[in-house]
Amino acid sequence: MATPNRWQLWRLGVFLAALAPLVSWGWQVASNAAGPEPGRYLLLNLGLGALWMLLLTLSLTPLTKLTRWKGFALIRRQLGLWTLAYATLHLLSYALFILGLDWGMLGSEVVKRPYIIVGMLALIGLVALGVTSNRWSMRRLGKRWKSLHKLSYSILGLVLLHFFWVVRADLREWAAYAVAAALVMATRLPPVARTLPRLRYRFSRAS
Ligand code: HEM
């Protein structure tokens, strides 16, 4: 049997690190340590987990420009798919613990909590990115692939709006995520994007 190379080990390490929160939350629920509302505990943690994954995925391109380290680019698809997985589990926990799988309730729920529509739009966007994240779609879509995957910026905006609507009464935690999102997006501004590789050059000369 061939021994895995260091990139395969790196990918495996990232996979295990991304899986770890799910195992930990599952363990907390199974051992009755998730508080009085374990369903809500899972729902909120999975929502935050999905946002973390999205922010991490979007950080990989500027990090690659800054460091030229191949490892960041190698895990981009994986982290994108983890974003989708966390968001899907977030929806499933909503369907299971809040709706009690009674889909008829969805209509009145959406009227009561319109932020659900915003979350759904974000999830539909993530599904579109997930199904087109393979090489075949890349080849078929050509230049349009890049434009399509810029949808991730709007998805980030939708998720922040969804989150804002949920926690309107206390925006401290939300503000921290909004600042992180603004930083990640700022690296896409052409003058900043152009500066990142130059910064690398300066760092490598200084060290
Ligand atoms: C079908 C799509 C979605 C539904 C039905 C949904 C539903 C919900 C619900 C019911 C809450 C909790 C509200 C409460 O406190 O009572 C919530 C919170 C949240 N959701 Fe979603 N959501 C969806 C999509 C998403 C997506 C795609 C993301 C991220 C990628 C996301 C991230 C969050 C975050 C960060 C919170 C706040 C967690 C906290 O307060 O700690 N949601 N969502």
Domain that holds residue 172: 6-206
**Domain count for the chain:** 1
Q: How confident is the model at residue 10 (pLDDT cuts 50, 70, 90)?
A: very high
pLDDT digits (tens, 9 = 90+) for 24-69: 999 999 999 999 999 999 999 999 999 999 999 999 999 999 999 9
Give the mean model confidence (pLDDT) for residues 100-108: 92
Alpha carbon of 90 to ligand 1 centroid (Å) = 7
pLDDT at 77: 97
Q: How far apart are the C-alpha atoms of 192 and 6, rounded to whole Å? A: 31
Sign of the four-CA dihedral 27, 30, 31, 36: positive
Terminal alpha carbon distance of the chain: 40
What 115-122 contacts at long range (C-beta under 8 Å, 24+ apart), as own/partner pairs, is: 115/161, 115/162, 115/165, 115/166, 118/158, 118/161, 118/162, 118/165, 119/91, 119/158, 119/159, 119/162, 121/158, 122/87, 122/155, 122/158, 122/159, 122/162
57 part of a folded domain: yes
- Classify residue 38: in a domain, yes or no: yes
Instruction: Report pLDDT digits (tens) over 114-146.
Output: 999 999 999 999 999 999 999 999 999 999 999
Q: What is the pTM of this model?
A: 0.95
How far, CA to CA in Å, does 13 sit from each of 2, 9, 85, 98, 152? 18, 6, 18, 34, 25
The answer as to whether 193 is a domain residue is: yes
Strands annotated E in 14-75: none
In a domain? residue 173: yes
The pLDDT confidence band at residue 204, using thresholds 50, 70 and 90, is low
What's the rounded mean pLDDT across residues 150-173? 97
Å from CA of 175 to ligand 1 middle: 16
Q: Which atom of ligand 1 is nearest to the CA of 167?
A: 40
For ligand 1, residues with CB inside 6 Å are 43-44, 47-48, 50-51, 54, 87, 90-91, 94, 98, 116, 119-120, 122-123, 159, 162-163, 166-167
Residue 151 domain flag: yes
Q: How far is the C-alpha of 111 from the C-alpha of 26, rounded, in Å?
A: 31
The answer to the question of residue 1 being in a domain is: no
Alpha-carbon gap, residue 131 to 36, rounded angstroms: 37
